[in-house]
Structure 1
Amino acid sequence: MARIPLLLASKFIFLSILSSSGVIRCTRGENNDDHGFIQSLDRESMGLKKEKLSHFRIYWHDIVSGRNATSIRVVRPSNASVTGFGIINMIDNPLTLGPNLSSKLVGRAQGFYALSSQEEVGLLMSMNFAFTEGKYNGSTITVLGRNPVFNKVREMRVIGGSGLFRFARGYVQARTNTLNLTTGDAIVEYTCYVMHY
């Protein structure tokens, strides 16, 4: 019987030593800015030079009608609402330089929008602008925000990017160019202000 308390005591001492060495390791890491899984990097070692502000204008074509729709409803709410509350569309919309669909294609807007307001026609937008033209081919920016559709100007955040838009932040302003109330098709001008390296 005396062996059991002795065995428990030795395990307790062993665990105490292990836990105190863990505390010592953490404390040492905090003093040296070395947290074990996070380390500081020099911007230049990653090729990050001076941050710049890019400004551009593109046109977003939301085509919900016809055989070549680029916006597909994936959720239909069970209860009818004047504002469309609960509807969700997945998009793969063309981005062009001008308001005509025949304008030069510079990328695609890929993501979704959801009608998220019970009071007005208001969208939650979550999409990547995936660029396919020139030196920005393969680069993206991510746009996220609230879009009250019938406001003249709507502002949404740029929350990130990839490629030449790594570490991107900024905002976009959306202005409806045309909206066909019969088909639901829309062309929206996006003016983008993006800080990136």
Structure 2
Amino acid sequence: MGHNFPISSSQIAIFFLLSFFAITLVSGESFEYARTLDRKLYGLKKEKLSHFRLFWHDIYSGKNPSAMKVVSSPMNSSTLFGAISMIDDPLTEGPELSSKLVGKAQGMYASAAQEEVGLLMIMNFAFTQGKYNGSTITILGRNKVFSDLREMPVIGGSGLFRYARGYVHASTHKLDLATGDAVVEYNIYVLHY
């Protein structure tokens, strides 16, 4: 019942050529692990530089502390080398805790220096007000606590701060050595889209 049609070698070549193009068009993907993307496709427009001036309240005392030591220094050290604290510190517009709350500094810091008080800071500044509500700025760096002015890098962010980079300047506004409570002024300079 079958019909036998003679197939020429040129027809076979055309069939394989068309099959190759069809497979190429269907797959359409490169098998490389990285590729360059057009940032406009992701809504990334012109990059801008923003400045934020905030006050960070690190509170160990009272009924509702915002900072808590989770690891004590394992040795008798004047710099508390090895101590680690977790934080959920208020960020306010002014130096008083009663001023407008604009976000929280969430993360941790560890005493990472043996010969001076130097902290490794790992924090997200999570904003809760205005157009930045829900966005974060990520800070990771060295904080030499008793220096007048400390600089730490901004390494990223989320929301309106995706692809963020920049730096912060931190300066102590108030420090209570008896309780460990501190108010630190943060000036953040961040490039973002």
Normalised to the residue count of structure 1, the TM-score between the two structures is: 0.82
Q: Who is 1:159 aligned against?
A: 155
Cα distance in 2, alignment partners of residues 111 and 157 from structure 1: 15
Query: Matched residues in 2 for 1:95 and 1:78: separation?
Result: 31
1:178 corresponding residue in structure 2: 174
Within the alignment, does 1:109 sit opposite 2:71 as a pair? Answer: no
Q: Given residue 39 of structure 2, which amino acid in structure 1 is its aligned partner? A: R
Question: Which amino acid is the alignment partner of residue 76 of structure 1?
Answer: S
Root-mean-square deviation (Å): 1.2
Match of 2:79 in 1: 83
Structure 1 outlier segments of 4+, above 4 Å: none
Secondary structure of residue in 2 paired with 1:164: helix
Give 1:39 shift. Answer: 2.4
Counterpart contact for 2:74–2:83, Cα < 8 Å:
no
Partner of 2:37: 41
Equivalent residue number for residue 150 of structure 1: 146
Residue identity in the other structure for 1:112: M
CA offset digits 1:58-112 (Å, max 9, x no partner): 0000001111100000001231101111110000000000000000000000000
Q: Which residue of 2 aligns with 1:53?
A: 49
Amino acid aligned to 1:158: V
Distance 1:44 1:106 in 2: 30
Amino acid at match of 2:152: M
TM-score w.r.t. the length of structure 2 is 0.83
How many percent identity over aligned positions?
A: 66
Partner of residue 128, structure 1:
124
Structure 1, unaligned stretches of length 5 or more?
1-33
Size of the alignment, in residue pairs? Answer: 165
- What letter is aligned with 2:175? L
Question: 2-side partners of 1:177 and 1:77: how far apart?
Answer: 26
Distance 2:183 2:111 in 1: 18
Distance 2:74 2:40 in 1: 54
SS for the counterpart of 1:102 is coil
> Residue 68 of structure 2 aligns with which residue?
72
Deviation, 1:35, is: 4.9
CA distance in 2, matches of 1:73, 1:163: 30
